[in-house]
Amino acid sequence: MNELSFPLLAQAVVSGVLFGGIYAVIALGLGLVWGVMRILNIGHAALAILGAYLSLTLLRVGVDPLLSLLVTIPALYLVGVALQFFVVESMHGRKEAEQHTFLILYGIMVAIENLQVFIWSADVRLISVSYSARVLNVLGLFLPVGRVISFVMAAAAVAVVHLFLNHTKMGRAMRAVASDRETATLMGISVRRLSRVAFGLSTATAAVAGLALGLVSSFFPGIQIVWISKAFLVVILGGVDNIIGLFVAAVVLGVAENVTGIIAPAYVVDFVAYILLIGTLMVRPQGLMRRTGT
Amino acid sequence: VIWRVARPAAAAVAVGLLVLLPFLGPQIYFIHVLAGLFMLVALAQSWNLLGGYTRYLSLGHVTFFGIGAYTSAICLNDYGISPFLTAPLGGVIAALLALIIGYPSLRLRGPYFSVATLSIAFLAQVVAFNSTPMGGGYGIQLPSLPLPIWQTEAVFYFVFLALAAIVVWWARKMERSRFGLALLAIRNDEDVAEVFGVNVVRVKLTAFVVSAFFPGVVGGLFAYQISYIDPHSAFDIGLSIDMLLMTMLGGAGRWAGPIIGATVVYLLSQTLSFIIPSALNRVVFGIILVLVVFAMPHGIIGFAESFWTKRVARFRR
């Protein structure tokens, strides 16, 4: 067991905050779809990993990862709109719509994950660019440039969505739908159009999330399940109504993991995260369990 | 009236043929493949007991399978007790775990239950990876049956056939009982079921425990059959997906569903591996799941039934 000195602790806290940004942006996408459509997109992290692979492939042909977002964001936006259009909308009116949608999204997740294995193999990858390995030294703390970029990107995505939801007409309409679907419809909001945008926006943030995680953490197709569990944990802890709360929960998770990481072996960290998730689900599911008018 | 005689007779003939089959001198590969199929039928049917009849979609049923596998592996290696005796013990341990996690997790509805069970499967895998008595990442090597290979295969063929028959029989009996009706009531509307006097908590929990018991038994025998287990193979999330897919494809909440679904998926996966690269196998399964839910949400049975009634109705007019 390592000694718990102050610089080490401070370093872990800072690394945790930087890592928490990624949790926040993945959880944000998950929470958007949950909030507006009451759908749990279990394939969300698989799409994020898809974004990471797309950025990686573009990097190989010489496109800087940050520029690759110009391609991956629209591409994944379209994927989200397509999911809403072809899957969610076609389930309307079915008696077991919730389960069927979940099963379809689950099947899509399985297909995407294994398609990634087929195309890019199951090898462990990292998006590494010349500048990402450089390390900044701020007040005696080491900040790898890659991590800083990843955090800034993630935080920017969260901020943009936050501004969108609070300061644009469409964003406000989305929040209205999230809080009361029927009343929103009566107020003349086109829920159908709005849901397409919301799903698209959600998967578009997955593109940012993918790059953000690909820059700092090694990835392979199967790891998406770890990210989706943690994002789910963040959504449960932070709640979907409040993006700031979501961000705080994500940062807390990142810090908690990194601090546990210096005093305990790596697997304990995962163990703690899963226990937290199962425990929160079982003890305090109310926050998410409120059933909307059926 | 004819059906009353013909149906049991047909079932008896089918089972009798399957029992006689190994004595007709087929190829060893054939016996092996069929044993695998029976195992999947037993697993899918166990999943059906909860997921099919109540629509509590568990994504973590492989946990119970893995627990059974490790129980019999440890009992055989450390205490020298045959897995044929300890497999039920694995089932009991799996059922106990289901009892513990079932009480809190069955309060969760819809996708939350699925995510909770999924996380439990991951937790189990992490534990297996890091537990010394469970062999960590190296897994556990088991001695195989001290019999010639042909007889070994035949023994497992009969064992899995018997298990599949028991689980199917159980499901069929349950479907026609008060208990089965209670499960269906929960599936249709849990709140209404509760109002009408169904002890929802107890019924769900019982179904979960039973549906965890059988995979535990199957896992224990599976470990003996392949004589090597590790956290990847014993807690393979893919197996959870298979149970769900097979049941949904055949017809969830129908006793015959998992039989049909498991047969189709298993034959498909056996033939697919000749046609396309194995990495694409699961892609195809994912797409099949999507298509099944889209086109025939009540599975092959439901599809056939509605097709049949439409035809007959037209004919009668």
- Which residues in chain A are closer than 8 Å to B111, comparing Cβ atoms? 40, 42, 98, 102
Cβ–Cβ contact B148 with A under 8 A: no
Residue in A281, A200, A82, A227 with CA at minimum distance from that of residue B111: A281
Select the more confidently predicted residue: B43 or A261.
B43
Confidence (pLDDT) at A284: 64
Largest CA distance in chain B: 70
A219 by DSSP, 3-state: which?
Answer: strand
Each residue's pLDDT tens digit, B268-300: 888 887 887 777 888 888 999 899 999 888 889
Contact B114, B240 (CB under 8 A): no
Could you tell me the pLDDT band of residue A290, with boundaries at 50, 70 and 90?
very low
Task: Report the C-alpha gap between A210 and A22 in whole angstroms.
Answer: 9
Tokens standing for residue B173: 């009996």
Rounded distance between C-alpha atoms, residue B207 and residue B60, angstroms: 15
Interface with chain B: mutation pick from A118, A123, A234, A294, highest number of B CBs within 10 Å: A118
SS3 B1: coil
pLDDT the model gives residue A289: 40
> Quick check: B205 and B102 in contact, CB under 8 A?
yes
Q: Token digits for A253? A: 């998770």
Least confident among A149-153, A164-168, A269-273, B34-38: A269-273
Per the rule left: phi > 0, alpha: psi between -120 and 50, beta: everything else, B80 is left
What average pLDDT does this structure show over A246-267? 86
Tokens of A260: 């546990």
Which pair of tokens denotes residue B3? 């059906």
CA B317 – CA A250 distance, rounded (Å): 64
pLDDT of residue A163 exceeding 50, the answer is: yes
Chain B residues in contact with A115 (beta carbon < 8 A): 280, 283
* A175 Cα distance to chain centroid: 19
Cα–Cα dist B169/A210, whole Å:
48
**Cα dist. A147→A21, A155, A157, A209 in Å?**
10, 12, 15, 13
Integer Cα distance of B301 and B308 in angstroms? 10
Contact A154, A148 (CB under 8 A): no
Helix axes B237-250, B299-316, angle to 10 degrees: 10
Q: Buried b / exposed e across A253-274, counting CB within 10 Å, b at 16+?
A: bbbbbbbbbbeeeeeebbbbbb
Average pLDDT for B137-154: 82
Give the pLDDT score at A57: 94
For residue range B164-206, list pLDDT tens digits in order.
999 999 999 998 899 998 998 888 888 888 888 888 899 999 9
CB contact under 8 A, A281 and B112: yes
pTM (2 decimals)? Answer: 0.86
Residue B84 CB-density burial (10 A; 0-12 exposed, 13-18 middle, 19+ buried): middle
Residue A5 C-alpha from the chain's centroid: 32
Residues in chain A closer than 8 A to B107 (CB atoms): 282, 285
CB B104 within 8 A of CB A282: yes
Name the range with the highest mean pLDDT among A96-100, A204-208, B226-230, B293-297: A204-208
B289 vs chain A: nearest CA distance in angstroms?
Answer: 6
Looking at the DSSP assignment, which residues form a beta bridge with residue B229? B140
Mean pLDDT of A189-216: 93
User: B-chain residues within 8 Å CB-CB of A274?
Assistant: 119, 122-123, 126
Dihedral (CA of B3, B7, B8, B12) sign: positive
Pairing of strands A135-138, B228-229: unpaired
What the block records as the tokens of A13 is: 């806290």
- State in Å, rounded, how far the first CA of chain B is from the last one: 25
ipTM given for this complex: 0.86
Q: Rounded to an integer, what distance in angstroms lies between the CA atom of residue A273 and that of residue A278?
A: 9
What backbone phi and psi angles, to 5 degrees, belong to B295? -95, -40
B138 in contact with chain A, both atoms CB, cutoff 8 A: no
pLDDT at A292: 39
pLDDT at res. B274: 80
What average pLDDT score do residues A122-127 get? 88
pLDDT tens, A63-109?
Answer: 888 899 999 999 999 999 999 999 999 988 888 888 889 889 999 99
Distance from CA of B111 to the nearest CA of A (A): 7
Cα–chain center distance at B294: 23
Contact B118 A229 (CB under 8 A): yes
Binary contact (B57, A274; C-beta < 8 A): no
Specify the DSSP class assigned to residue A136. E
pLDDT score of B279: 74
Interface check B273 vs A, CB under 8 A: no
Q: Which residues of B touch A106 (CB under 8 A)?
A: 59, 114, 289
Q: Is B141 helix (H, G, I), strand (E, B) or coil?
A: strand
Cβ–Cβ pairs < 8 A, chains A and B: 121
The answer to whether A285 contacts B248, with C-beta atoms less than 8 Å apart, is no
Tell whether the model's pLDDT for residue A178 goes beyond 60. Answer: yes
